[in-house]
Structure 1
């Protein structure tokens, strides 16, 4: 049950990342705000969720996430209502997010080093500041997600060849299923088995490839539609990612992960003798 709950939370987390900006875009339609501004607000909510941490770990700083999202959204809406225009307002929101993220990284004494996930968030926030200042065109604002996906994809591919691939960290609790002895066996197996390491490296690299392919397809879909169809495109542009993530999950869950489980089970048997 614990394993299923962990996987369910992971999938819901991915679903939120995919759909949140589009849902915010639709929900804010009655406000009369420009499409680009509404998309930017959706992006600030996603940034707040990202800087709060990974939901499935149970260490999710929801207060800080809400703070980042609320202040960045306030900056966007406040500047726009003050007459600064769409682009300056979106830049103000992006800078607000960036200042809060950098401040958190500098002041968080519990974080001895800049971990990979925090670095990824920081890079994407900085990229958001730069991209937001380029254009207020709604399609461009929507398409900038492709660059975030590309950065995430590159990060995944690089992570796959490190000593701690992202999927090793993300899926270890699933493999351990709440058993400390099994968690220790997971680490021993990682050190001993090249095949075990290759499985988790492959899962990490595979997800990176999914993100890179999506980055390309997303731009093709967005700019293949009329400029006035951004609301519809905000949903249709998500379809390739949904399909590819589902395929990655099915292949991993059905074919790849069982091999890793058998290797881990063998290590558990050896250690129990």
Structure 2
């Protein structure tokens, strides 16, 4: 979950912060979105100071913040702030897709706590299923590919929605830009549950075999 925190911050805080600053304090749309969107940079800085080093995600955030700030001051277009989460989603899509073919798929580790419910025996069986079951590996890779597609689709739709409206209608863009996120991610969760549920007997069989 910690790895997803910067993404959550970049998706959620700019929206709430925007309406608080714009409607509550009367700041312009430009400055409201700029200040609200700075939460990701603050989080990256704090994380970097705590770790004592800059990781790949921190570099990405700093580069993205710098680029979006430069574009904002050059163009004055607040839509850039709304569209920038598409960068994280695009990177997440590429990363998820790569893990389908190399190493451990993204869903393998992210789904483990839900599948094993903190049970050490189930966790061990989960790992053995990954090692010995072709069906298990195919399903996990397939679900990971679904999430890669969801990230990519949301990134594209977010940009399309944001730039389909003029800058003066940014209030509408703030809400509408979240619609693809909700729809695409709900569908991805449904597909994940449907595809992963049949694997429970596979995991249980490996647990029984080890007992």
Normalising by the smaller structure, the TM-score range is: 0.7 to 0.9
Structure 1 spans left out of the alignment, 5+ residues? 1-5, 7-12, 49-67, 70-96, 109-113
Shift of 1:222: 1.1
User: TM-score scaled by structure 2?
Assistant: 0.84
2:18 corresponds to: 25
User: TM-score scaled by structure 1?
Assistant: 0.66
Matches of 1:130 and 1:16 in 2, distance apart?
Answer: 18
2:195 corresponds to: 256
Counterpart contact for 2:37–2:81, Cα < 8 Å: no
Q: Which has the higher contact order (CA 8 A, sep 6+)?
A: 2
Q: Summarize the Cα distance change of 1:138–1:156 in structure 2 as closer, same or farther, 3 Å threshold.
A: same
Residue aligned with 1:137, SS:
coil
Structure 2 spans left out of the alignment, 5+ residues? none
1:185-226, CA deviations, whole angstroms, 9 ceiling, x for partnerless residues?
Answer: 111111111221222222222112111111111111111112
Matches of 2:77 and 2:112 in 1, distance apart?
Answer: 42
1:39 corresponds to: 33
Matches of 1:232 and 1:218 in 2, distance apart?
Answer: 13
Counterpart contact for 1:185–1:268, Cα < 8 Å: yes
Q: Summarize the Cα distance change of 1:122–1:204 in structure 2 as closer, same or farther, 3 Å threshold.
A: farther
**1:44-193 alignment runs, 5 A limit:** 44-45=38-39, 47=40, 68-69=42-43, 97=44, 99-105=45-51, 107=52, 119-135=56-72, 136-193=76-133
Matches of 2:134 and 2:20 in 1, distance apart?
Answer: 49
Counterpart contact for 1:101–1:122, Cα < 8 Å: no
Residue aligned with 1:161, SS:
coil
Aligned-residue Cα RMSD (Å) equals 2.7
Matches of 2:83 and 2:10 in 1, distance apart?
Answer: 15
Aligned: 1:268 with 2:207: yes
Matches of 2:48 and 2:63 in 1, distance apart?
Answer: 10
Q: Summarize the Cα distance change of 1:125–1:202 in structure 2 as closer, same or farther, 3 Å threshold.
A: farther
1:85-140, CA deviations, whole angstroms, 9 ceiling, x for partnerless residues?
Answer: xxxxxxxxxxxx5x5554444x26xxxxx8xxx52343233222123212331012
Q: Summarize the Cα distance change of 1:203–1:14 in structure 2 as closer, same or farther, 3 Å threshold.
A: farther
Q: Summarize the Cα distance change of 1:143–1:133 in structure 2 as closer, same or farther, 3 Å threshold.
A: same
Shift of 1:179: 0.7
